[in-house]
Amino acid sequence: MGSLVKNVIGAVITVAIGGAVFTVSQPAVVDNFAKDTGLTQQEAKQYVEQAGDDLVSWDEVGKGFIDDGNDIISTVNTLDCDNYTYDWVSPSLTCENGKAELYKIGHDETALGEAYKKLSLDSASKADIPAVIALIDTLNYDYSSDFIDNILDSKDVDDMKKSNSYNKATLQAVLDEN
């Protein structure tokens, strides 16, 4: 199967991991999402309901993170702190520190992408979920870095974190309810 399948029938969400299909309650996903994001139950419910329209396979999610992570790492390799001053450099963020933060983000995105892709393999199981959740937490923490604060709009960062938290909330519900 290898994909996140969401069929909302009443308040049931169907999630495919490897060759298994799990059902979780939408209220459990909403609760997990609200806890992770700090949103109210109503805000979380609206987000979860809207997110159902944009779902793609774990493989596709993974590929996106791997591609983005590799692009970030390639960019880091082209940065020249000795000969250039970049707009994102500030008194609190040196070029070298920015490069290190950016490299970590690229590496963590790639690792999360690989973990997502593993969920799409027929050999995947619930046992693979905690690693994905831990990597989501790591990446959401990375998105709070000085570098990200200097280059991205806070709304964009919030959207990236919420997208990650939605997947985390769904995967946590699979662990909790199955």
Residue 2 contacts residue 122 (beta carbons within 8 Å): yes
Tell me the domain boundaries of the chain: 12-177
* 73-83 tens-digit pLDDT: 999 999 999 99
What is the rounded distance in angstroms from the CA atom of residue 92 to the CA atom of residue 68? 26
What is the rounded distance in angstroms from the CA atom of residue 80 to the CA atom of residue 26? 48
Residue 158 pLDDT greater than 60, yes or no: yes
Residue 160: both structure tokens together = 């990236």
What is the rounded distance in angstroms from the CA atom of residue 170 to the CA atom of residue 177? 11
pLDDT of residue 51: 83
Report which residue type is found at 178. Answer: N
Q: Which residues contact 93 (CB under 8 A, 6 or more apart)?
A: 101, 146, 147, 150
* 119-142 tens-digit pLDDT: 999 999 999 999 999 999 999 999
Q: Where are the beta strands (DSSP E) in the chain?
A: 12-17, 20-25
Q: Is the pTM of this model over 0.85?
A: yes
